[in-house]
Amino acid sequence: MIVAMKKKIITIAGKLGSGKSTTAKRIIQELGYTHFSSGDFLRNVAESHGMTIKELILAAEKDPQIDVHIDQVVKDKGNEEDLVIDSRLAFHWIPESFKVYLDIHPDNAAERMFKDLESNEGRKRSENSSTLEDMKKNMIERHESDVRRYMKLYGINHTDHNHFDLVIDTGKEENNLDSVVQQIIDGYQRHLEK
């Protein structure tokens, strides 16, 4: 039996607004790793096609090659080391990574994402939400689209907690950013030692 070698890669998946990118950026500061955000990459792809994220996601439902292209970029990252990737499917493409899922209630997520519009230029350019209600509606539509597309393309439910080494609800008060980062680093160290 061939056993896959563990990679010095942390993959962070999770719901929209759960803090994947923010958490990843803090972890790379702690570990000295590099960071790849599929969300940032997706925003760049959308912008290069003159689309919002929502428009790109809807286009991906009709043209699976959009997801295939984006997923290939993430797969290729699996050849690197000392890396933190925030991506919905990186756990699947890099199974020998330490796999983290960040969960959050949709109301909390919408509030975070709407507030982030004030300071995040990338999100401001790619999101089409002028109210908190719009943000929540768009977020839920995007999540449902992701679930449909990934199930159709790959037979994967990317929200199933059984795929992950560690699951954290970032909406809980005790799970502030410092706590979440520490839980991930501690879990990652134990993962490497096994």
Burial 71-105 (b: 16+ CB within 10 A, else e): beebeebbeeeebbbbbbbbbbbbeebbbbbbbbe
Average pLDDT value for residue range 76-90: 94
Q: Identify whether 2 is part of a domain.
A: no
pLDDT top residue among 104 and 54 = 104
Total structural domains within the chain = 1
- With cut-offs at 50, 70 and 90, classify the pLDDT of residue 129: low
Average pLDDT value for residue range 91-95: 95
Q: Is the pLDDT of residue 93 over 50?
A: yes
Average pLDDT value for residue range 112-127: 64
Q: Identify whether 169 is part of a domain.
A: yes
Reduce the DSSP state of residue 11 to 3 states and report it.
Answer: strand
- With cut-offs at 50, 70 and 90, classify the pLDDT of residue 118: low
pLDDT on residue 1: 41
Give per-residue pLDDT as tens, 27-61: 999 999 999 998 888 888 888 989 888 888 889 88
- With cut-offs at 50, 70 and 90, classify the pLDDT of residue 7: confident
Average pLDDT value for residue range 11-34: 95
Which residues touch 180 (CB under 8 Å, ≥6 apart)? 19, 23, 102, 168, 170
Q: Which two tokens stand for residue 151?
A: 């199930």
List the strands of the sheet with 98-103, edge to edge. 34-37, 83-86, 9-14, 98-103, 166-169
Domain of residue 135, residue span: 9-187
Q: Identify whether 106 is part of a domain.
A: yes
pLDDT top residue among 108 and 127 = 108
Q: For position 37, which CATH number holds?
A: 3.40.50.300
Average pLDDT value for residue range 57-69: 88
To which residue do tokens 């519009």 refer? 117
How far is the C-alpha of 42 from the C-alpha of 26, rounded, in Å?
21
Give per-residue pLDDT as tens, 164-186: 999 999 999 999 999 999 999 99
Average pLDDT value for residue range 115-142: 71
Q: Identify whether 70 is part of a domain.
A: yes
Q: Identify whether 4 is part of a domain.
A: no
How far is the C-alpha of 55 from the C-alpha of 63, rounded, in Å?
12
Contacts of residues 22-26 at CB distance under 8 Å and 24 or more positions apart, as own/partner, are 22/177, 23/86, 23/102, 23/170, 23/177, 23/180, 23/181, 23/184, 24/84, 24/85, 24/86, 26/177, 26/181
What is the model's pTM?
A: 0.85
pLDDT on residue 121: 58
Q: Identify whether 1 is part of a domain.
A: no
Q: Identify whether 61 is part of a domain.
A: yes
Do the Cβ atoms of 8 and 192 come closer than 8 Å? yes
- With cut-offs at 50, 70 and 90, classify the pLDDT of residue 127: low
How far is the C-alpha of 83 from the C-alpha of 8, rounded, in Å?
7
Contacts of residues 55-60 at CB distance under 8 Å and 24 or more positions apart, as own/partner, are 57/142, 57/145, 57/146, 58/145, 60/145, 60/149
Nearest to 94, CA basis, from 4, 28, 168: 4
Q: Identify whether 192 is part of a domain.
A: no
